[in-house]
Amino acid sequence: MPLDANFVFSQSALQDFVDCQRRFELKYLQKLRWPALQTEPALAFEHLTEMGVQFHRLVEQYLLGLPSDLIAKQIADPLLQRWWESWEQQHPQAISEQRFVEVELATQIAGHTLTAKYDLVSIADNGNITIYDWKTSENRPKDVSLQQRLQTRIYPFVMARAGATLTGKAIDPSQIEMIYWYPNVPAQPAHFRYDATKLTADELYLEDLVNQVLQRNAGEFALTTDEKRCKFCQYRSLCDRGVKAGNLAEMDAELEEDAFEIDLDSVTAIDFD
């Protein structure tokens, strides 16, 4: 089954391909929705995921100008309350007046669209661009693990290639920085600077990655050799990699990042009366 000519690549899709080609095939080519649990206990996982969505929405409302006290009045869940208190006390301070919330940019790679949706883009008067991404996973991965994530490469790459839409002028890659901020560990943000060398390397890498996808036929997408990933994949029984979902408490930080990847486009915004 060939990839649709209009298929839009994202960091989530390419991360799936890197982690397990078969998962990419099932999810994006076959568009199969397999109803298996990703992790147990199911209610705890569902709660954490929902609170992650709500936290993103609260921060979005704050950045768009809604008073903090009004936002706080809407919070009933203790976990969300704790995250919000972390935000109020230790949220990133270097947020300029020129900022773009939940903005999406796109560029071309290997003849296909590559898109990135940013939680926040802050542009300073000197032209420096800071990309912020809010992460509500319980554990903060090590910097070396985060550096290897496709998001850490794709978000600055797309900004360097398409950010002129926001700034009105060409962007120097060395002016781009990406920051992951965790409400569970607010004093330990992860910082990643970008530059022209990384831009060139990422363009070659991403073009090769997309071409790998395009060159594969149905049935040629390999299963991951890292079977610990299968414990937390909804397709595991379909691939004969087990039936029982992995335990949430046993999930390491890297897998947790995957499990709590939030699709905000599918969520209704919070109403504030």
| % of the chain beyond a pLDDT of 90 | 62
User: Region 74-78: what's the mean pLDDT?
Assistant: 93
What is the pLDDT at residue 264?
46
Each residue of 1-14: pLDDT tens digit?
A: 567 778 999 999 99
Q: Of the candidates 6, 19, 8, which has an alpha carbon nearest to the alpha carbon of residue 259?
A: 19
What is the pLDDT at residue 273?
40
C-beta separation of 116 from 11 below 8 A: yes
**Least confident piece of the model among 92-96, 174-178, 205-209:** 92-96
Each residue of 189-248: pLDDT tens digit?
A: 999 999 999 999 999 999 999 999 999 988 899 998 888 888 778 888 888 776 665 555
User: Region 24-49: what's the mean pLDDT?
Assistant: 72
Buried b (16+ CB within 10 A) or exposed e, 114-126: bbbbbbbbbbeee
Query: What fold, for 8-263?
Result: Lambda Exonuclease; Chain A (3.90.320)
- The burial class, CB within 10 Å (0-12 / 13-18 / 19+), for 142 is exposed
* pLDDT reading at 26 higher than 60: yes
* pLDDT reading at 255 higher than 70: no
CA angle 152, 116, 23 (to 5 degrees): 75
* pLDDT reading at 184 higher than 90: yes
Structure tokens at 75: 């919070």
User: Region 168-175: what's the mean pLDDT?
Assistant: 95
Band (pLDDT 50/70/90 cuts) for residue 25 is very high
Structure tokens at 101: 């919330």
* Domains of the chain, residue spans: 8-263
C-beta separation of 131 from 143 below 8 A: no
Q: Of the candidates 96, 149, 147, which has an alpha carbon nearest to the alpha carbon of residue 123?
A: 96
DSSP element (H, E) containing 50: helix 42-63
User: Region 116-144: what's the mean pLDDT?
Assistant: 93
3-state secondary structure 92-153: CCCCCCEEEEEEEEEEEECCEEEEEEEEEEEECCCCCEEEEEECCCCCCCCHHHHHCCHHHH
User: pTM here?
Assistant: 0.87
